[in-house]
Amino acid sequence: MAKVIAGVALIAALIAIPLTGGGSLALFFSTGYLLGDLAIAGLTVGASLILGGIAQASQHQLGTSIATRQGAADQQYVYGRSRVGGTIIYESITSGNAHYNAVVVHASNSCVGVVALYLDGKQLSFSNPGGAPVYIPGTTTPVALDSVTHNSPIPLTSYRDDGQTHYDASGNPYNFGGHVYWESRNGTVTQTTFTDLTADDPIWPSTATASGHCCSYIQLNYDSATFPNGLPSIRVDIIGKNDIYDPRSGTYGFSENPALIAADVLCHTAYGLQCVYANEINQAQLIASANVCDELIALASSGYEPTYSCNGTFSSNLAPGDILRGILDSMAGRMTCVNGIWNIYAGYFSGAAMTLDQTSLVAPIKWKFNRKYRDLVNAVKASFVCPTSPYVSAGPGLPYGQKISGVFDGEWHQVDAPNYMQDIQHGYAADANLIADNNVRLWLDTRYPFTISVATVQRLMKIALMRNRQQGAGTLAFSLAGYPLQPLDVFQFTYPRFGWADKLLEVQQTRLNITEPSGTEASRVYVEMDVVETDPSVYSWSATEELPLQDNLPPQLPNMAYCQPPGALTLESDSTTMVQGADGIQRSQIKCSWTGVTDAFINRGGGYELQYQQTGTTTWFPYSQFGGQVTSCYLGNVNDGVNYTVQVRSYNTSGAYSVWIQDSITVANANSNITTSTFQVNGTSV
């Protein structure tokens, strides 16, 4: 049975209520919310829209963005696609301090798998046994999400980075030099242990499989140039939970459908409400909502995307209501629980369930035609998770295998969506809502942590605005003709006094009232319901209303882990580079010149480092470090006719080093009268 959420009127116990004129009516009442005994003056029970009962989504980040070390960490769960860190559950130093080993749990549920690894924001490229770089382990070509077999686990093959130089979106090079080894597991209960970790570190038991947890084993070879700031931050791209039930096909698998995901959370025994799927989920309503989510909708640029999708993470410290609120928001969704059955509604207009008129009323209408001014909004601000940077103008971001760059550069961050209001920019002749509110801009500020499409988030923003602009609300008391209506049902109502003809009203809450007999008047049973105005236009959308995201870029912070290398290194050795000491002895030198950089973190607080060696040898001799304004020096202690290799690199104020820039030269026979091993006087060695 599901956990009870406070504030939800559940209708459960069958009671027979006597009616005027004999007979009885079978009515369902809530045993937990039964208000007293039938002998009391009146009885009111009912069902309501699940809003107050489900807590508002927490305002902090729902998941872990980078790998962390914690003594008692919350578990993390992933639905759809996301970029996450995780929790380091084991680490060790082995092989004479040469290897750092870490086991990182990314998700505490079975997933399609981990498809990309980032260290300090840089994506690693791997090689299969044939040497071809791969994006998803086990493939030789990039694979888009739609072509992944979601129910098949990613192969358990091990991978080492390819040791090649790669470039970020700005053209900056990086190279992990073959110092990174990676394995991943997708969280099945039958997954195997990390045998390579066991071979390198016998403390890790061979029976430790981390079953049920999607995780990685990462080994880093010690190299101060590759990891100048110590242990790097760890992130992965992950395709999440792969055992979501779809009643339309009767199968389990990966899905981004928020209606199916909401049902999965309701039934989950760890972080959900422990519902019994077969008995406590209205599957007909679930299928209707799932179909709405999967309907394709045209984008402003080109192509189509599902109407709603859900992609994101959350931690085990969140209450079920917090989790469900975020998931429901991704489809403008709502839920009700009637007779112990959960109903999941995506944001769509379902049409009128029935028609009523004033002849069904048993009491005067209580109605408010307008919201209080403080409750009105005429524009919406929102943030969502954008998976790409530079940002795409529409759609859910590029699928895996079609990335703009391989470097973390603002990807998968919360960013502001284009503001939504019904103005000229969005294809309207004028902002009627603004005019109606005395030209005062009234904002609603919200966030969508499970939405990764700039087009979807704008549709959700419009629905939030339009629901607010349907201002009429009130309470209607009907005879039992209104009894079949449940929360979120829409009905047509004709009431000439207000000029209503088939006016569309949406039920928010229902209450079944029973009056006490009075004199000759018998008990009366009637249905009282709270309703609000609604209209199909709340859910209508035109591609002309969609705006691109490029104008909403967040500030870009410098990547201090990357250090720009100096420009070309030039070596000179001839008679002009020789130096004569006070003793009259001439000495050969190599003049080293390089192009300085414009990075203030290098030329103001950083600098350059120079090394040299005789070409063909293995030992590098440090020469000196120079300030950031120095771009040349003379290298002495060299012999005529000998070939030397010189290399220079830059370093910044955070201690990060660039790659080496090299050049070679043979010292000219420039009649130097001294060598590094013997002195010569008039051509005679002494």
According to the model, what pLDDT value does residue 428 have? 94
The more confidently predicted of residues 585 and 169 is 585
Q: Is residue 15 over pLDDT 50?
A: no
Give me the amino acid identity at 544: T
Distance CA 451, CA 82 (A): 10
According to the model, what pLDDT value does residue 46 have? 54
According to the model, what pLDDT value does residue 407 have? 37
The more confidently predicted of residues 231 and 61 is 231
Task: Indicate the domain borders of the chain.
Answer: 81-241, 373-432+442-462, 569-685
What average pLDDT does this structure show over 486-495? Answer: 95
The more confidently predicted of residues 45 and 669 is 669
Evaluate the omega torsion of the peptide bond into residue 390 and state whether it is cis, within 30 degrees of 0.
yes
Find how far residue 558's CA is from the centre of its chain: 22
Percent of the chain exceeding pLDDT 70 equals 77
The CATH superfamily assigned to 569-685 is Immunoglobulins (2.60.40.10)
The more confidently predicted of residues 416 and 287 is 287
**pLDDT grade for 670, boundaries at 50, 70 and 90:** low
According to the model, what pLDDT value does residue 140 have? 35
3-state SS class at 126: strand
Distance CA 257, CA 275 (A): 19
Beta bridge partners of 105: 87, 215
Q: Which residues of 185-221 are buried (b: 16+ CB within 10 A; e: fewer)?
A: bbbbeebebbeebbebbeebeeeebbebbbbbbbbbb
What average pLDDT does this structure show over 633-646? Answer: 90
From 264, 324, 317, 310, select the one nearest 56 (Cα to Cα).
324
What average pLDDT does this structure show over 304-322? Answer: 92
According to the model, what pLDDT value does residue 135 have? 33
Residue 473 makes CB contacts below 8 A (sequence gap 6+) with 367, 368, 371, 530, 531, 532, 533
According to the model, what pLDDT value does residue 3 have? 33
Helix (H) or strand (E) holding 325, with range, is helix 320-329
Strands (E), 159-302: 159-160, 166-167, 173-174, 180-186, 214-221, 234-241, 244-246, 251-253, 296-298
According to the model, what pLDDT value does residue 354 have? 95
The more confidently predicted of residues 520 and 587 is 587
Contact by Cβ (8 Å): 324, 53: no
Residue appearing with tokens 């045209």: 298
Q: What tokens were used for 189?
A: 């209960």
* Tens-digit pLDDT profile for residues 231-248: 898 998 888 899 999 999
According to the model, what pLDDT value does residue 629 have? 92
Task: Spell out the long-range contacts of 88-91 with Cβ–Cβ below 8 A and sequence spacing 24 or more.
Answer: 88/234, 89/210, 89/215, 90/204
From 577, 579, 608, select the one nearest 595 (Cα to Cα).
608
Distance CA 43, CA 36 (A): 8
Q: Is residue 293 over pLDDT 50?
A: yes
Residue appearing with tokens 């590094």: 676
Residue 76 makes CB contacts below 8 A (sequence gap 6+) with 63, 64, 84, 86, 87, 105, 106, 107, 108, 313, 314, 315, 316
Residue appearing with tokens 């990685």: 216
Distance CA 503, CA 355 (A): 9
Percent of the chain exceeding pLDDT 90 equals 52
* Tens-digit pLDDT profile for residues 138-187: 333 333 333 333 333 344 455 788 888 887 655 678 889 889 999 888 89
pTM, entire model: 0.72
From 330, 311, 296, select the one nearest 397 (Cα to Cα).
311
Residue 52 makes CB contacts below 8 A (sequence gap 6+) with 7
Contact by Cβ (8 Å): 357, 497: no
Q: What tokens were used for 161?
A: 């980075």
| DSSP characters over 204-225 | S-TT---TTSEEEEEEEE--TT
What average pLDDT does this structure show over 456-476? Answer: 96
**pLDDT grade for 390, boundaries at 50, 70 and 90:** low
According to the model, what pLDDT value does residue 152 have? 34
Q: Is residue 112 over pLDDT 80?
A: yes
According to the model, what pLDDT value does residue 342 have? 95
According to the model, what pLDDT value does residue 226 have? 87
Distance CA 260, CA 614 (A): 67
Distance CA 608, CA 145 (A): 44
**pLDDT grade for 559, boundaries at 50, 70 and 90:** confident
**pLDDT grade for 51, boundaries at 50, 70 and 90:** very low
Q: Is residue 310 over pLDDT 70?
A: yes
According to the model, what pLDDT value does residue 301 have? 78
According to the model, what pLDDT value does residue 54 have? 42
**pLDDT grade for 515, boundaries at 50, 70 and 90:** confident
According to the model, what pLDDT value does residue 587 have? 85
Q: Is residue 682 over pLDDT 60?
A: no
Phi-psi region of 529 (alpha: psi -120 to 50; beta: other; left: phi over 0): beta
Number of residues that this document lists for the chain: 686
Distance CA 493, CA 490 (A): 10
According to the model, what pLDDT value does residue 130 have? 30
According to the model, what pLDDT value does residue 460 have? 97
According to the model, what pLDDT value does residue 409 have? 53
Residue 640 makes CB contacts below 8 A (sequence gap 6+) with 588, 667, 668, 669, 670, 672, 675
Q: What tokens were used for 91?
A: 């680490």
Residue appearing with tokens 């084993």: 217
What average pLDDT does this structure show over 37-46? Answer: 39
What average pLDDT does this structure show over 477-484? Answer: 93
* Residue 393, φ and ψ in degrees, nearest 5: -80, -20
Distance CA 304, CA 137 (A): 29
Q: Is residue 13 over pLDDT 60?
A: no
User: 185-189, 192-196, 247-251, 582-586 — which is least confidently predicted?
Assistant: 582-586
**pLDDT grade for 11, boundaries at 50, 70 and 90:** very low
Helix (H) or strand (E) holding 268, with range, is none
Q: Is residue 455 over pLDDT 50?
A: yes
From 450, 438, 422, 206, select the one nearest 308 (Cα to Cα).
450
Residue 95 makes CB contacts below 8 A (sequence gap 6+) with 200
Q: Distances from the Cα of 674 to the Cαs of 250, 443, 579, in angstroms?
A: 88, 81, 11
Distance CA 439, CA 437 (A): 5
Q: Is residue 685 over pLDDT 80?
A: no
Q: Is residue 300 over pLDDT 50?
A: yes
The pLDDT mean for the chain works out to 80
* Tens-digit pLDDT profile for residues 423-445: 999 999 999 999 999 999 999 99
Q: What tokens were used for 528?
A: 């009282």
